[in-house]
Amino acid sequence: MGVLEQPAAAAPAPYRRIAAELRARIASGEIRTGEKVPSVRQIAQEWGITASTAGKVLSVLRAEGLVRAVPGVGTVVAAAPGGAPGARTGPPPGRVNGTRPLTRDRIVRTAVALADARGGAALSMRALAAELRVPTMALYRHVPGKDDLVALMADAVFAEAGLSGSAPAGWRGRLEAVARHQWSLYRRHPWLARTVLPAAAAGLMEWAVSPALRQGLEPGAVPRIAATVASYVRGVAVSLTDGPATPDLDPFFTFGLARLLDGVHTYIEQRPAEP
């Protein structure tokens, strides 16, 4: 376990944990589109849980559209939605004797999936290599070391999805949208909050404030407002991984965000005279 690092992330319910593990196997390419995921019976046996819990696991993944039931066959990995690039069916062109080539991108994606599934503390170079079924030292031909890998993971996650939907025109709507977006990233990837954050995290937040410049906001206030909101979101996110006893922080997050935006509103509206 990491120095000064507590048991990462509250222990989730078994069906959630197992669903996350299967999600990781699918994300890493271990189980590919059209291939069968373990059956209810197999899951129950492998993880030592009851069939009804195992059934819950598959229904979670089905609800996400990640797998689908094929009558007479079993549950298989569904095609990636929207035909996103990188979501291919079957082996890629460059493959050699059945194994896909090891790339930096595949390493990073698998590392993210592993940290999501088993917690940040469970991510080790050895465990990652085992997941990818390559020798540990093979990773070092693609990433300089673990710290850099973690930085790449953070980059990848912040780049993974922009804001969904159209961006509001006003600063308040934008700031709230970006804050909620980052909050959802932290919830999906709890290890992220304790990581060194990429510059991208601050950039999007600053963009959100920019409409207020037309209202006469001093330019120097933009990075401060951005940092304030980003810090708040990250602070709640860090608490998210404080331990198993952590309460549901979603209502807390929403409440605090509203207070914070009210305070920014007061600041922008009164446009203080002093520099």
**Which residues are near DNA by CB under 7 A?**
1, 3, 123-127, 134-138, 140-141, 145-147
Q: 120 vs 211, which CB is nearer to a copy of itself? A: 120
Query: What mask, x for binding a copy of itself by CB under 8 A, covers residues 105 to 134?
Result: ----------x----xxxxx----------
Query: What mask, x for binding a copy of itself by CB under 8 A, covers residues 172 to 211?
Result: -------------------x-xxxxx--------------
Task: Give least dist CB 180 to a copy of itself, A.
Answer: 15
Measured distance CA(105)–CA(113) in Å, rounded: 12
Task: Give least dist CB 97 to DNA, A.
Answer: 13
Measured distance CA(135)–CA(107) in Å, rounded: 13
Measured distance CA(17)–CA(23) in Å, rounded: 10
With CB cut-offs between 5 and 8 Å by kind, which of a copy of itself, DNA, none does residue 136 bind? Answer: DNA
With CB cut-offs between 5 and 8 Å by kind, which of a copy of itself, DNA, none does residue 70 bind? Answer: none
Query: What φ, ψ does residue 67 adopt, rounded to 5°?
Result: -135, 165
Residue numbers of the site for a copy of itself (CB under 8 A)?
1-8, 115, 120-124, 146-147, 150-151, 191, 193-197, 221, 224-225, 227-228, 230-239, 242-243, 251-252, 255-256, 258-267
